[in-house]
Amino acid sequence: MRTPLIAANWKMHKTVDEAEAFLKVFRRLTKDVTGVDIVIAPPFTALTAVVAGVQGSSIAVAGQDIFWEAEGAFTGAISPTLLLQTGATHVIIGHSERRQVFGDSDEAVNLKMRSALDFGLAPILCIGETLEERNNDETLIVLTRQICQGLDGLAGRNIAPLVVAYEPVWAIGTGHHATAEQAGQAHSHIRTTLREKFGKGAAGSCRIVYGGSVKAGNVRELVAQPEIDGALVGGASLDPESFFEIVEGGRVTTV
């Protein structure tokens, strides 16, 4: 039995004041919520405030990226150790915006994945096809490549903390989410690929969440799919009421 996970990816949004105001409302709304793991990924500048703001709750905090080295002359980069020092426990790696805007390759994603696991951060590995790749019937090939390269060299490691986020690029921020059937098919393929790489037990304990225009109105049908263990939410996670409704809807999966 995998506990559903609902994660907020705030991207480049929210000042410290805005993050604190969000948490004030969100903490009240979620105080009696059980049966779901909640993660919030604020920008680096609001990490400390969010960690302080979730004290006493089970809400976990994530960075939106890391560099793989522990320290050194890497201007603008944040290491896993620096991230851990803020109190964050999770990190998003390989988000399509990192891949497309900042040029993160599968190789860089792999180095970040290894580093996150080495330092004890739970990685949320984002993968997903572009619209062109879907139209060319390449979705499953792209997913296999991103998993195999992203997780290269990790066979035999404890991958239980790993979360895979299936985020079709064409669904991110567009208002067009994948249908439950499209997402369900991708998630089954991801589970099978993980099973082939890491064995049944390890693959069975990883959570595979869906991301891309998730809202309160579509989260239930998505998590009703047997292999969809929750959601990674961008735009609809910025408002506490909206994110709370998604947490409520994503709480009950069939697994």
How far is it, in rounded angstroms, from Cα 255 to Cα 250?
A: 12
User: Closer CB to ligand PGA, residue 36 or residue 202?
Assistant: 36
Min CB(222)–ligand PGA separation in Å = 12
User: Closer CB to ligand PGA, residue 30 or residue 213?
Assistant: 213
Which residue type, as a one-letter code, is found at position 3?
Answer: T
Min CB(172)–ligand PGA separation in Å = 4
Positions touching ligand PGA (CB under 6 A) are: 9, 167, 172-173, 211-214, 232-236
Those residues with Cβ within 8 angstroms of residue 139's Cβ, 6 or more apart along the chain or in another chain: 129, 133, 168, 186
Those residues with Cβ within 8 angstroms of residue 191's Cβ, 6 or more apart along the chain or in another chain: 203, 208, 227
Q: Which of 90, 95, 177, 189 is catalytic?
A: 95
227 noted as active-site residue? no
**Nearest Cα to 255, choosing from 193, 187, 178?**
187
Min CB(81)–ligand PGA separation in Å = 25
Min CB(60)–ligand PGA separation in Å = 16
Position of minimal CB gap to ligand PGA: 234
Q: Are 164 and 207 in contact (CB under 8 A)?
A: yes
Count CB-CB contacts under 10 A for residue 171.
Answer: 24
User: Closer CB to ligand PGA, residue 208 or residue 236?
Assistant: 236
SS3 call for 216? coil
User: Closer CB to ligand PGA, residue 22 or residue 198?
Assistant: 22
3-state DSSP helix/strand/coil % of the chain, to nearest 5: 45, 15, 40
Min CB(239)–ligand PGA separation in Å = 12
95 noted as active-site residue? yes
User: Closer CB to ligand PGA, residue 86 or residue 213?
Assistant: 213
Q: Which of 129, 133, 167, 227 is catalytic?
A: 167
| Burial classification of residue 245, based on how many CB atoms lie within 10 Å of its CB (0-12 exposed, 13-18 middle, 19 or more buried) | middle
> Which residue numbers are catalytic?
95, 167
